[in-house]
């Protein structure tokens, strides 16, 4: 596989939080290559370091968190490769949304409550791609339709939307500028099961229609089973297993992965 096929290559990543009980290693010695065009799942129980990995890559890690080692080489199309852990200022601002976008955990509350949805699209698009100003009236309804929402949603305020609709709006904003890579942290958590299915389908459609690479973080192995091509399993900050999702389900290499798979509730199987 050539460099061109790898959109993000993480090597030796170490992230810690210094607490009054000493340093907590949240991510340690993590190596992971994300292939261009794939849907990669990141699995692992609560506290295994999944969100820490995402915020470190997005450069949104706040103190007491600190990246202490590693690199994350990002290769957006048409631009030179950059180490996400080193880019600063304007270079980082330019990459955000247009090359790399992020749906944070608990993101439904991140929409601005006093701004209409259409204006929130407009803000992101104009800030990062001002040349698209004249296309907005066509682009916003098209993006909404892409996630199964009516054009009228653009005139609404966040409080007029259900949780699932808000999540779909955020997903559409994430792909608005056709980034190379979207990282979505727990995109279906806190939504009920039928809405979860709609969101997962929208993610698959977006990945296919926009040709983006998608990294989906979820503690729910059922989500990975339905959505991803490959899955990476984290345990206590380390990557314990990466592979084709069907292969991992069929023959987990790690005892912890087996336990995670066992924890998926199945229809017709009584919870004990
Ligand atoms: N601000 C912080 N200060 C200290 N420790 C933290 C902080 N944020 C996270 N941690 C610790 O880092 C580890 C990883 O947390 P992280 O939120 O990345 O896990 P996660 O896999 O995303 O969990 P979840 O599935 O609950 O979202 C945990 O042990 C957590 O307690
Ligand atoms: Mg998390």
Task: Express each pLDDT in 65-111 by its tens digit.
Answer: 999 999 999 999 999 999 999 999 999 988 998 999 999 998 888 89
Percent pLDDT > 90 in the chain is 81
User: What backbone torsions phi and psi does residue 4 show, to the nearest 5 degrees?
Assistant: -60, -25
Instruction: Quickly state the pLDDT bin for 128 (edges 50, 70, 90).
Output: confident
Please report the atom of ligand 1 found closest to the CA of residue 55. Answer: 18
Q: 185 C-alpha vs ligand 2 centroid, how far in Å?
A: 7
* pLDDT given at position 271: 46
- 48 pocket-lining for ligand 1 (C-beta < 6 Å): yes
Is 80 exceeded by the pLDDT of residue 272?
A: no
For residue 73, the model assigns a pLDDT of 98
CB-ligand 1 contact for 19 (6 Å cutoff): yes
Look at the domain 3-262 and name its fold.
Answer: Rossmann fold (3.40.50)
**CB-ligand 1 contact for 211 (6 Å cutoff):** no
Ligand 1 test: best mutation among 15, 16, 17, 188, most atoms within 8 Å of CB?
A: 17
Question: What does pTM read for this prediction?
Answer: 0.94
Question: Is the CB of residue 51 below 6 angstroms from any atom belonging to ligand 1?
Answer: yes
- Note whether 222 and 234 are within 8 A (CB): no
pLDDT digits (tens, 9 = 90+) for 229-248: 999 999 999 999 999 999 99
| 121 has a pLDDT exceeding 80 | yes
CB of residue 253 inside a 6 A radius of ligand 1:
no
In this prediction, residues 207-220 reach a mean pLDDT of 93
Mean pLDDT of 192-197: 88
Flag whether pLDDT at 268 surpasses 60.
no
Distance 203 CA to ligand 2 centre (A): 19
**Could you tell me if the CB of 24 is within 6 A of ligand 1?**
yes
Is the pLDDT at 214 greater than 70? The verdict is yes
């Amino acid at each position: 596989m050539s460099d061109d096929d790898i959109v993000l290559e993480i090597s030796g990543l170490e992230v810690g939080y210094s607490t009054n009980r000493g340093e907590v290693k949240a991510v340690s010695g993590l190596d992971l290559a994300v292939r261009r065009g794939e849907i990669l799942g990141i699995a692992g129980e609560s506290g295994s370091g999944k969100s820490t990995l995402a915020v470190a890559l997005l450069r949104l890690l706040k103190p007491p968190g600190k990246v202490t080692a590693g690199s994350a080489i990002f290769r957006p199309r048409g631009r030179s490769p950059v180490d996400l852990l080193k880019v600063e200022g304007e270079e980082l601002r330019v990459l955000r949304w247009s090359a790399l976008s992020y749906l944070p955990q608990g993101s439904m509350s991140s929409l601005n409550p006093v701004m209409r949805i259409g204006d929130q699209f407009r803000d992101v698009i104009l800030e990062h791609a001002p040349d698209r100003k004249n296309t907005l009236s066509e682009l916003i309804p098209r993006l909404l339709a892409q996630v199964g929402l009516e054009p009228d949603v653009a005139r609404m305020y966040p409080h007029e939307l259900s949780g699932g609709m808000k999540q779909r709006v955020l997903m559409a904003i994430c792909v608005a500028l056709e980034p190379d890579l979207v990282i979505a942290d727990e995109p279906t958590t806190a939504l009920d099961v039928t809405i979860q299915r709609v969101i997962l389908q929208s993610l698959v459609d977006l990945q296919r229609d926009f040709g983006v690479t998608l990294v989906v973080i979820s503690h729910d192995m059922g989500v990975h089973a339905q959505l991803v091509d490959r899955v990476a399993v984290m345990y206590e900050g380390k990557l314990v297993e990466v592979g084709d999702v069907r292969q991992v389900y069929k023959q987990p290499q790690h005892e912890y992965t087996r336990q995670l798979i066992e924890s998926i509730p199945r229809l017709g199987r009584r919870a004990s």
